[in-house]
Structure 1
Amino acid sequence: MINKVLVICIGNICRSPMAVALLRHHAPHLQVESAGLKACVGEDMHALTAQVLSDNQIARPAHAACQLTDERVRWADLILVMDQRQLRSITDKAPHTRGKTFLIGKWRDDFEIDDPYRRPLSAFQRTYTELTLCIEGWLPYLSSEDRQR
């Protein structure tokens, strides 16, 4: 069963905190955390990420960007990444993660989520829409037994 999800992006200020908020909204029974491959350690989520979440009435989780660590990798039942390069980076450095690390867009024909960093609000809105669709694809696989209790 999947109960603990770790979402990864590069800086851990745009895509992964947005995905955490969406996963917590759609699957509140899950423990969801995030980290970055090159995290902007200690920074809050990007202001446009927060704005898009607010505009869509999605609760904004408390956030401080953190670096991906072995401890976080071991904690997770499932690791979701935004693109193939991140997937390769994680599985090359930690081969034991191959069975639990996937593209967030796996159930959407391996869709990859572009980084909206340093782009306009419209890029963050597109990221929100794409992440929502990708997360909806994961919902049937995320501890459905726990949701029925």
Structure 2
Amino acid sequence: MFNKILVVCVGNICRSPTVEALLKSRLAHRGIDVSSAGLGALVDKPMDSTALEVLRDHGGDLPDHKGRQLTREHLQQADVILAMEKRHVERIVEMAPEVRGKTFLLGKWQNNQEISDPYRQQKVAFEHVYQLMAQGVDSWSQKL
């Protein structure tokens, strides 16, 4: 049984909080704790306004999110760690080699698809990335 899921990206203001919100919504009835953090987080910053707008356009929300820096302790406490890009997985494993077996790409079930950072791009890029993240969340929700 997986009780704690950690979602990781770089800044923790676009991708990982979006996935956090989607997973929380999908898994709420199962009592699974979902959180997010960034490898180079914009600590205490709110979710990117365009990312939040796209999330809300699709019926989601995460209004009180604040960027959080990833720590070794976060990694050790998680049962499953979901990252957006292969280089994120590599950095996570460098920080805590013992978490290698529980660290995966969000796009694992989509042929290990990486999900690029839409930060500072147009809304259409955020929408595209949202669709990729939603596919990953759908797949993981069935596997967890």
Given the two structures, how large is their TM-score scaled by the length of structure 1?
Answer: 0.92
Aligned to 2:126: 124
- Counterpart mapping for 1:14-93 below 5 A: 14-28=14-28, 29=30, 30-93=32-95
Q: Could you tell me which runs of 5 or more consecutive residues in structure 2 were left unpaired when the two chains were aligned.
A: none
Residue identity opposite 2:64 in structure 1: A
1:91-131 CA distance string (max 9 Å, x none): 12211011110001111100100100010001111111000
Counterpart pick for 1:102 among 91, 101, 104: 104
Contact 2:52–2:61 (8 Å) recurs in 1: no
- Counterpart mapping for 1:126-145 below 5 A: 126-142=128-144
Compared CA separation, residues 60 and 20, structure 1 to 2 (3 A): same
Task: Please say which of residues 14-23 and 88-97 is displaced more in the overlay.
Answer: 88-97
Aligned to 2:12: 12
1:129 and 1:59 map into 2 onto residues whose CA distance is 16
Q: Percent identity?
A: 44
1:86 and 1:106 map into 2 onto residues whose CA distance is 13
Contact 1:52–1:125 (8 Å) recurs in 2: yes
Aligned to 1:147: none
User: What is the number of residues matched between the two proteins?
Assistant: 142
Residue identity opposite 1:84 in structure 2: K
Deviation of the 1:135 alpha carbon: 1.0
Deviation of the 1:59 alpha carbon: 2.8
Residue identity opposite 1:13 in structure 2: I
Q: Could you tell me which runs of 5 or more consecutive residues in structure 1 were left unpaired when the two chains were aligned.
A: 143-149
Given the two structures, how large is their TM-score scaled by the length of structure 2?
Answer: 0.95
CA RMSD of aligned residues (A): 1.0
Residue identity opposite 2:51 in structure 1: T
SS in 1 for 2:101: coil
Contact 1:21–1:61 (8 Å) recurs in 2: no
